[in-house]
Structure 1
Amino acid sequence: MTDDIEDKPQPLLSHLMELRNRLMWAVGAFFLAFLLCFGFAKPLFNMLVQPFTWAVDWAGMSDRKIELIYTAPQEFFFTQIKIGMFGGLVLAFPMIAAQLYKFVAPGLYKNERGAFLPFLVASPLLFLLGAALVYFFFTPMVMWFFLSMEQTGGTGEASIMLLPKVSEYLSLIMTLIFAFGLVFQLPVVTTLLARVGLVSSQGLKDKRKYAIVAAFIAAAILTPPDPVSQIGLALPTILLYEIAIYCARLVERQRAARAASAETDETSSSADADPEGDA
């Protein structure tokens, strides 16, 4: 199997220099992406406020002016820095993942590299799918829930309006995006674990009830303390767990098919090598 792997022993210093070069490329890509996103921080923030606008429309307040506030002089500046870092990480992730893959690829066999590449592509796509679900559905739903608690004011009632702080609104939507993005990695992680034999579809099925409880606990930790976002994260997590079971079953079927094919080839080779053995 040494023909399938880049089996070239190198001193520790060479590996450290390779790691340094990969880190420099990754950090450089992040820094450039950060500068780009920081330069467009205000348009990006306005884009992130769009789900709040949709929530206002859902609540029947289409004539309401969308207002957010900041209560410290430096608050919006640091919010723009956070936007730059958040957007920079998203834009630079393909380069970071590529550098990580290039660092570990020489130690993998050809079939392992071929098996690893689809997951390298699927992981950011699933993260973006989770982020899109947050942006177009769950954030408007959460903000609609919070808007429903307002009071118009009147006799014996105070007027209570939702005026989010820019930093807290950004923290809310970033938390939801990261939470859903990480949860959407469940099929990828489970499939990788199934490939190396650490989990099985039957084992995942047997632990389904514990997974459901864990999904609600994780949703309570990762999301704001409101039932809408917690249930909104827990239900997709449970659905993704079922998809993970199916992916693990596919891996097991492929492994069984390869084993059967190898056994058939071995039997055929033995019969060809000794055609007159029975005689």
Structure 2
Amino acid sequence: MSESQHNDAGTETFISHLVELRNRIMKASIAVIVVFLCLMPFAGHIYDMLAQPMMLALPAGSKMIATGVITPFLIPVKVTLLVAFLIALPVVLYQAWAFVAPGLYEHEKKLVAPLVVSSSILFLIGVAFCYFFVFGVIFKFINEFAPKSIAVAPDIESYFGFVLTMFIAFGVTFEVPIVVIVLVRMGLVTVEKLKELRPYVIVGAFIIAAVVTPPDIMSQLLLAVPLCLLFEIGLLVAPVFARATRAPEEAAEEAT
């Protein structure tokens, strides 16, 4: 094959990958949009569910406020879009998997598929833990700490920003086992070395919790303790996962 033919073949392959990527993104986007349109009639109720932890902590009869002209419409729409993305996440992940799978070896497929599924589940567990447990502690502390001369009436836009930040923080925190597994599987660090770093990880977990959460000890513990426990889970699972996803040549080398 001449150099020009080789370049043409490379260009065609690159363009075909771009077309495939576009099609996968379009299918994922359509799934999110369809779910979003189905949920839009219930946007107000969906926001009320998101606001429930705060409303339970506020004095009886209190309500949130909206300071912007279109905020009462825009924030429920944003919340509904977020929920639609979470519901359509299996489709989005499948499209991502379908795009990269043809270029992977069989042992690499064994590595990627479990990581995609488990990381998604762990992220959702982190979000649920934050919503059902952490928010109740944080909002109760804030409203009990507020002086009696202050009428607590949170702005819905600020509330949405705070909730989104906390969801991301706890969702990412629950990804710690995946990070540990990937580091060990790629050979970047050993389990023994990570065990040696355990004291630094514990200190780092409490520093992160102090930065991300409000300044009460309970909410900080609710982030730092799961982070430490998830790190330990990663240390236990990483060797098993590494053995299960070895390439054939790796297994042959170890056998000899």
TM over 0.5: yes
Corresponding residue number in structure 2 for 1:243 = 233
Choose the corresponding residue for 1:28, options 24, 27, 30.
30
Stretch deviating more after TM superposition (110-119 or 233-242): 110-119
Kindly provide the amino acid, as one letter, of the partner of residue 150 in structure 1. A
Matches for 1:101-250 after TM superposition, within 5 Å: 101-152=97-148, 159-224=149-214, 226-250=216-240
Query: Does the 8 Å contact 1:187/1:243 carry over to 2?
Result: yes
> In the alignment, which residue of structure 1 is the partner of 2:65?
69
In structure 1, the gaps of 5 or more residues are 1-8, 153-158, 267-279
1:164-200 alpha-carbon deviations (Å, 9 max, x no partner): 1111222222221111111111112221232222222
Whether the 8 Å contact between 1:141 and 1:228 is mirrored in structure 2 is yes
Q: Given that residues 47 and 80 in structure 2 are in contact (C-alpha distance below 8 angstroms), is that contact kept between their aligned partners in structure 1?
A: no
Deviation at 1:72, TM superposition (A): 2.2
Structure 1 residues 199, 33: CA separation in 2 closer, same or farther (over 3 Å shift)?
farther
| Percentage of identical aligned residues | 37
Letter in 2 for 1:130: G
Shift, 1:230, TM fit: 3.2
SS at match of 1:40: helix
Deviations 1:58-93 (A, max 9, x none): xxx6xx124111122222222123212311221222
In structure 2, the gaps of 5 or more residues are: 1-9
* 1: CA distance, partners of 2:77 / 2:96: 26
8 Å CA contact 1:200–1:249 kept in 2: the answer is no
Give the equivalent residue in structure 1 for 2:4.
Answer: none
Does structure 2 conserve the Cα–Cα contact (< 8 Å) formed by 1:119 and 1:188?
Answer: yes
Q: How much does 1:221 deviate? A: 4.0
Q: d(CA) in 1 for partners of 2:186 and 2:251?
A: 20
Change (3 A) 1:118 1:251: closer
What's the secondary structure of 2:145's corresponding residue? coil
2:50 partner amino acid = L
SS at match of 1:148: helix
TM-score by length of 2: 0.83
1:93–1:255 distance in 2 versus 1, CA, 3 Å: closer
Q: How many residues align?
A: 246
1:106-139: CA deviation from partner (whole Å, max 9, x where unpaired): 1111122123222222122111211111111100
CA contact (8 A) 1:215 1:237 kept: yes
Contact 2:35/2:87 (<8 A) preserved = yes
User: Per the alignment, in what secondary structure is the counterpart of residue 11 of structure 1?
Assistant: helix
Q: Distance in 1 between matches of 2:215 and 2:37?
A: 33
CA–CA distance in 2 between the matches of 1:31 and 1:55?
33
Letter of the aligned partner of 2:70 in structure 1?
A: Q
- Provide the residue aligned with 2:6 in structure 1: none
Q: Deviations over 1:19-65 (max 9, x none)?
A: 11111112222222333343322101111122224435xxxx6xx12
1:173–1:238 distance in 2 versus 1, CA, 3 Å: same
Q: Residue 122 and residue 251 in structure 1: after superposition, are their counterparts in 2 closer, same or farther (change >3 A)?
A: closer
- 1:83 is matched with which residue: 74, 79, 82? 79
Asked if 1 retains the 8 angstrom alpha-carbon contact of 2:65 and 2:155, the reply is yes
1:227 to 1:161, Cα distance in 2 relative to 1, 3 A? farther
Alignment of 1:263-274 (within 5 A): none
Against the structure 1 CA distance between its residues 198 and 27, is the aligned structure 2 distance closer, same or farther, given a 3 Å change threshold? same
SS at match of 2:69: coil
TM-score (norm 1): 0.77
